[in-house]
């Protein structure tokens, strides 16, 4: 997995705000904090479903699809964003595709309505840290813990009680510690096989060509719905999703 060093500038603005956020105390019950706060259009998961998600999962970085050899996992990073996430959701709905949204904690906190819409549409949530620091693997364990656990709480609160099922390190900056911590919280470390390069905004044709060329590398494909103008991503998805179906792929979620 290649790192996305180019993301640092945009997320530098977010990082400062993240440090000033007042968060739930460590170890506090998310369900207790969420009592009565579930969005009316989003059914609260059953206690058994939530408990299942909280069970420890494998610490290895997932790439495979739960749909097997012909499965494809669409993953959407860095949002939610009020301009682009709704458009991405519209395209996914048009083609009947479910995706995994890797959300930055501060973005989820700022746009809880969008987090709830993602969940209500049947997509899955992924913890993408509080402030998207791509140098997390160079930071102390205490910092890694704060970034992962605080983002988990922020996303869970914004969703109305639905927990992230995965953890994707910013820029792929995993450490043995961060993988173990995430897995202990029921969040499978999540990698990618195909980087669409949409973050660089190389043009819709280039994004499509990259995915088509690199799709044999594996099932998990990386896109973005925040961090700037994502119009190329939206248009690329309109072309890539039907193309993947034509190639005989089915759409699933990363294994847990």
Residues serving a catalytic function are 77, 224
Evaluate whether 11 touches 131 at the Cβ level (below 8 Å): yes
Q: Could you give the CA distance from residue 52 to residue 46 in angstroms, rounded to a whole number?
A: 10
- R_g of the chain, CA atoms, integer Å: 17
Instruction: Say how many C-beta atoms besides its own lie within 10 A of residue 157's C-beta.
Output: 20
Q: What angle do CA 135, 237, 152 make, to 5 degrees?
A: 40
Provide φ and ψ at 87, rounded to 5°.
-70, -40
Residues pairing with 127 in the sheet: 103, 167
**Which pair of tokens denotes residue 122?**
């049947």
| Residue labelled with tokens 């998805």 | 237
Residues pairing with 72 in the sheet: 251
**Which pair of tokens denotes residue 41?**
């259009």
**Which pair of tokens denotes residue 83?**
């301009």
């Amino acid at each position: 997995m290649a790192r996305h060093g180019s993301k640092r500038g945009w997320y530098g603005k977010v990082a400062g705000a993240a440090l000033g956020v007042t968060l739930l105390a460590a170890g506090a019950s998310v369900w207790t904090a969420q009592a009565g706060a579930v969005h009316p259009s989003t059914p609260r998961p059953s206690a058994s479903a939530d408990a299942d998600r909280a069970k420890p999962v494998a610490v290895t970085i997932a790439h495979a699809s739960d749909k097997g050899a012909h499965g494809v996992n669409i993953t959407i990073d860095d949002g939610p964003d009020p301009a682009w996430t709704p458009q991405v959701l519209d395209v996914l709905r048009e083609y009947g595709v479910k995706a995994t949204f890797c959300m930055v904690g501060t973005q989820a906190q700022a746009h809880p309505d969008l987090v709830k819409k993602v969940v209500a549409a049947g997509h899955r949530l992924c913890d993408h840290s509080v402030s998207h620091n791509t140098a997390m693997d160079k930071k102390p364990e205490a910092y890694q813990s704060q970034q992962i656990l605080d983002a988990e709480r922020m996303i869970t609160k914004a969703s109305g009680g639905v927990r992230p099922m995965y953890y994707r390190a910013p820029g792929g900056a995993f450490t043995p510690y961060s993988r173990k911590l995430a897995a202990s919280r029921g969040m499978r470390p999540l990698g990618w096989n195909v980087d669409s390069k949409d973050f660089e905004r190389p043009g819709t044709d280039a994004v499509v060509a990259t995915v088509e060329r690199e799709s044999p590398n594996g099932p998990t494909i990386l896109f973005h719905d925040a961090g700037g103008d994502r119009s190329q991503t939206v248009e690329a998805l309109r072309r890539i999703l039907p193309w993947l179906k034509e190639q005989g792929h089915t759409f699933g979620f990363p294994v847990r």
